Amino acid sequence: MNKSRIEAFSDGVIAIIITIMVLELKVPHEADIHTLLPLLPVFLSYVLSFVMIGIYWNNHHHMFHAVRHVRGGVLWANLHLLFWLSLMPFTTAWMGENHIESVPVAVYGFVLMMSGIAYYILARALIRLEGADSALAIAFGKDRKGRISVVIYAAAIALAFLSPWIAIGCYVAVALIWLVPDRRVERVLLAAHPGQAPPER
Amino acid sequence: MNKSRIEAFSDGVIAIIITIMVLELKVPHEADIHTLLPLLPVFLSYVLSFVMIGIYWNNHHHMFHAVRHVRGGVLWANLHLLFWLSLMPFTTAWMGENHIESVPVAVYGFVLMMSGIAYYILARALIRLEGADSALAIAFGKDRKGRISVVIYAAAIALAFLSPWIAIGCYVAVALIWLVPDRRVERVLLAAHPGQAPPER
Amino acid sequence: MNKSRIEAFSDGVIAIIITIMVLELKVPHEADIHTLLPLLPVFLSYVLSFVMIGIYWNNHHHMFHAVRHVRGGVLWANLHLLFWLSLMPFTTAWMGENHIESVPVAVYGFVLMMSGIAYYILARALIRLEGADSALAIAFGKDRKGRISVVIYAAAIALAFLSPWIAIGCYVAVALIWLVPDRRVERVLLAAHPGQAPPER
Amino acid sequence: MNKSRIEAFSDGVIAIIITIMVLELKVPHEADIHTLLPLLPVFLSYVLSFVMIGIYWNNHHHMFHAVRHVRGGVLWANLHLLFWLSLMPFTTAWMGENHIESVPVAVYGFVLMMSGIAYYILARALIRLEGADSALAIAFGKDRKGRISVVIYAAAIALAFLSPWIAIGCYVAVALIWLVPDRRVERVLLAAHPGQAPPER
């Protein structure tokens, strides 16, 4: 089965998720600059979620680039990931509108954690198809980054009840870990196809 | 006529349908966890519809994968399917917001039934183009699954007035029947192109 | 310049336009079947607009299928068409919500007329690129259908002030004229590439 | 890494941005033509933003057409551009709803300026990949248009507090500068591939 259509569908869903989040930035009814201030937590939540979903899109892009074909199970593992990501506009808006309180921040972290787990399941399903000695399997390896992220999310959910800001700090930390796209995949792929251009920087 | 653009357009519409349903999860104005409880029926309706539309996307993907070319009639049969699917955000929200009452649950089933019929019409239009001895025609066969689904939906619409929960049970049952993607198509295609990888599991 | 990206972008915009119209079907707060009755004009407006935009997508698909390459001017002619189509969710909702009154029905027709003119301009821009002896130019010919449609729309806008229902009748008539996809293009293309399958029915 | 998926994702996001802006044209509850008058500033803001985003899409299309491959840094430079563009529905609605007042008009210009800077960063990232002697680098040159635009935006933000209409005039001026798509790229590319058709007009 061709992988291009699963990529196109994922692109569509992720593009919509990343864009409808901005609809939560409710237009103020006055023209005063001060009316933007109460929107600041909503805006910052939007920036964080935009980066998070950007990370997923980038890694999804890298991962499928290393894949040669897909099958039934992968379609569902991919839909499972998209399901959790589709809840991000809701959790982002809830967190932003309540000016960073414990429960919404913890729920936000829960959806991030489930997305992380779903991504891991998808990666495993793809590696099972590609084979243990495939470029993807070698590149993915033990997936230390993915495991650490899920652990940090779990901790952040608990810590949100101590202070929501510590939890937010954890989410930002995970974002920073991932902001570098999955170079592992890129590096191994390049070793396999040395004709391609070397990784940037 | 090339099939890739009809696939891309369908992917776009289905991606939007599956994503805008989440907008019905209205963000609560308080940060309390109890404010999520009244959202539970809306959330469960969302999960059910997400799975249903996921099933349609998967089967649409499988079916068009087996198709070589499309023509005028197929474009309209496809738009007809997308029309009924586009009503799902409305019926999902109505069912969820009214905490599972008879009329919305029956209307939800009606749209599912019409989508099932539209899918059947689309499959027939494609088989007419491909020929009775094509891989698609053999794979589709008598379409027992599709026929059973429509019968279950019809029964569920009536049963919804007895108890909406029985109808919901029927919808879940149909989802379970279909959750396995259309292996028939995959199997026959593989017999035709033995070079491709064998079906997963 | 490659035509695939202009097709993909148009598919995206048209997919969103056709899908967000359904958001105007506001979910009733009661579970009674009678609460659906006031939604009927909105629903019928939705059906009409869905068919209209479906026609544009089908013909856009056919037209670009006959095109080999695109250039700057075509990108803007295409965006101009998408602009007028993007106003359809607004005019559809306004017409539906006011239960078919003169002004909204006339405004609805105005946007349809401008879309028709924009489609004509786009077709001319493409024919200028392809050449007067191209398959597209021959297929498009004098574009009798397109011209008649614009005349009917203009008449309907005036007639809407006599009776909105006569105008609606005109819109339905235009839809019926176009429901058959642009067979002219298909026929001439087939003459040029006799290897392809013959037109359906 | 293949460039087609970054194009598809960008197309999706831009298609959604350009289309959800129309949702700010709130449907009036009366059928009178006079109810459209208060919508005029919202409508004109929509037209301006539609043209602006159309310009970005056209130039993005031209630029990536000249690109052979992409890598990690480009994905983020592209997401950065999409982030600023995604704020346009908000600033457009705010500007339109407040009937062209200083602060919203200045904020509108700020988002345009940041989009311009993000486009410049993306172009630089692509040129770094392609090489200083690539068709893209030669076509982009000193990017006089891009630099002038950013300067005009910066001036317009300040001038908005003198008169919002002068700022609007500046935005329209920038739009006019860019309405002609990036012929520089087209011209140099054609010199490199003389087999392709000559630029229109």
Split at pLDDT 50, 70, 90, the class of B90 is very high
* pLDDT, average across residues B29-53: 89
- The pLDDT of residue A191 is 62
Residue D198 lies in a domain: no
Alpha-carbon distances, residue A166 vs A40, A163, A169, B142, C43 (angstroms):
19, 6, 5, 59, 49
CA distance D74 to chain C (A): 19
Residue A159 lies in a domain: yes
Name the range with the highest mean pLDDT among A55-59, C114-118, D135-139. Answer: C114-118
DSSP characters over chain A: --SHHHHHHHHHHHHHHHHHGGGGSPPPSS--GGGGGGGHHHHHHHHHHHHHHHHHHHHHHHHHHT-----HHHHHHHHHHHHHHHTHHHHHHHHHHTTS-HHHHHHHHHHHHHHHHHHHHHHHHHHHHH-TTSHHHHHHTT-HHHHHHHHHHHHHHHHTTT-HHHHHHHHHHHHHHHHS--HHHHHHHHHH-TTSPPPP-
ipTM score of complex: 0.86
- The pLDDT of residue B189 is 55
Which own/partner contact pairs does D108-111 have at CB distance under 8 Å and 24+ positions apart? D108/D45, D108/D171, D109/D153, D109/D156, D109/D157, D109/D160, D109/D167, D109/D170, D109/D171, D110/D153, D110/D157, D111/D84, D111/D87
- The pLDDT of residue D23 is 86
- The pLDDT of residue B102 is 92
Residue C198 lies in a domain: no
- The pLDDT of residue B25 is 87
Residue in this structure with the two tokens 């059973």, named with its chain if needed: B148
Alpha-carbon distances, residue D120 vs A68, A72, D149, D176 (angstroms):
35, 42, 11, 19
Q: Does C14 have pLDDT greater than 70?
A: yes
Split at pLDDT 50, 70, 90, the class of C53 is very high
- The pLDDT of residue D197 is 41
B146 at interface of C, judged by CB pairs closer than 8 A: no
Say if the Cβ atoms of D180 and C89 lie within 8 Å.
no
* pLDDT, average across residues B1-25: 87
Split at pLDDT 50, 70, 90, the class of C201 is very low
Query: Tokens for A14?
Result: 């992720």
Task: Render pLDDT for C143-153 as a digit per residue (tens, 0 to 9).
Answer: 788 889 999 99
- Considering only CB atoms, C19 lies closest to which of B17, B98, B102, namely B17
* pLDDT, average across residues B49-53: 95
Tell me the percentage of chain C whose pLDDT exceeds 90: 46
- The pLDDT of residue C100 is 82
Say if the Cβ atoms of B16 and C14 lie within 8 Å.
no
**B147: domain range?**
4-192
Q: A42-51, A114-123, B150-159, D190-199: which range is least confident on average?
A: D190-199
Average pLDDT of chain D, as a whole number: 85
The 8-class DSSP code of residue B29 comes to S
Q: Does B141 have pLDDT greater than 50?
A: yes
- The pLDDT of residue D198 is 38
Split at pLDDT 50, 70, 90, the class of D189 is low
d(CA B63, CA B67) in angstroms, rounded, equals 7
CB-CB contact of B3 with B69 (8 Å): yes
Q: Which chains touch B (3 or more CB pairs under 8 A)?
A: A, C
Instruction: Output C174 or B130, whichever has higher pLDDT.
Output: C174
Residue A39 lies in a domain: yes
Instruction: Output B119 or B193, whichever has higher pLDDT.
Output: B119
Residue B46 lies in a domain: yes
- Considering only CB atoms, D20 lies closest to which of A12, A19, A65, namely A19
C131 at interface of D, judged by CB pairs closer than 8 A: no
The 8-class DSSP code of residue C141 comes to T
Residue A59 lies in a domain: yes
- The pLDDT of residue D93 is 92
Split at pLDDT 50, 70, 90, the class of D105 is very high
- The pLDDT of residue C197 is 41
- The pLDDT of residue C28 is 87
Task: Render pLDDT for C89-105 as a digit per residue (tens, 0 to 9).
Answer: 999 999 988 878 999 99
B116 at interface of C, judged by CB pairs closer than 8 A: no
- The pLDDT of residue B112 is 96
- The total number of structural domains that make up chain B: 1
Split at pLDDT 50, 70, 90, the class of A83 is very high
Q: Does C196 have pLDDT greater than 90?
A: no
- The pLDDT of residue C198 is 38
Name the range with the highest mean pLDDT among A155-164, B96-105, C61-70. Answer: A155-164
* pLDDT, average across residues C2-15: 88
- The pLDDT of residue C170 is 95
Residue D201 lies in a domain: no
Q: Which of A103, A115, A124, A126 best tests the B interface by mutation, with the highest count of B CBs <10 A?
A: A103
Least CA distance to C101: which residue of chain D?
A: D31
Residue D200 lies in a domain: no
* pLDDT, average across residues A93-108: 90
- The pLDDT of residue A54 is 92
Say if the Cβ atoms of C72 and D50 lie within 8 Å.
no
Least CA distance to A77: which residue of chain B?
A: B54
Q: Which chains touch C (3 or more CB pairs under 8 A)?
A: B, D
Alpha-carbon distances, residue A12 vs A57, A73, D8 (angstroms):
11, 20, 8
Tell me the percentage of chain B whose pLDDT exceeds 90: 46
d(CA D25, CA C129) in angstroms, rounded, equals 36
Exposure on the CB side of residue A138, measured as CA atoms within 13 A: 11
Q: Does C182 have pLDDT greater than 60?
A: no
How far, rounded to the nearest angstrom, does the alpha carbon of residue A171 sit from its chain's CA centroid? 11
Task: Render pLDDT for C103-142 as a digit per residue (tens, 0 to 9).
Answer: 999 999 999 999 999 999 999 999 888 887 887 887 777 7
Average pLDDT of chain A, as a whole number: 85
CA distance A91 to chain D (A): 19
What's the length of chain D? 201
- Considering only CB atoms, B31 lies closest to which of A2, A24, A98, namely A98
Instruction: Output C166 or A28, whichever has higher pLDDT.
Output: C166
Residue B82, SS3 per DSSP? helix
Chain B residue numbers touching C65 (CB-CB < 8 A): 1-2, 5
* pLDDT, average across residues A6-21: 91
Average pLDDT of chain C, as a whole number: 85
* pLDDT, average across residues C49-56: 94
Q: Does A33 have pLDDT greater than 70?
A: yes
- The pLDDT of residue B111 is 96
Split at pLDDT 50, 70, 90, the class of D195 is very low
- Considering only CB atoms, C90 lies closest to which of D15, D22, D57, namely D22
Instruction: Output D85 or D7, whichever has higher pLDDT.
Output: D85
CB-CB contact of D133 with D92 (8 Å): no
- The pLDDT of residue D114 is 96
How far, rounded to the nearest angstrom, does the alpha carbon of residue C140 sit from its chain's CA centroid? 16
* pLDDT, average across residues B94-109: 90
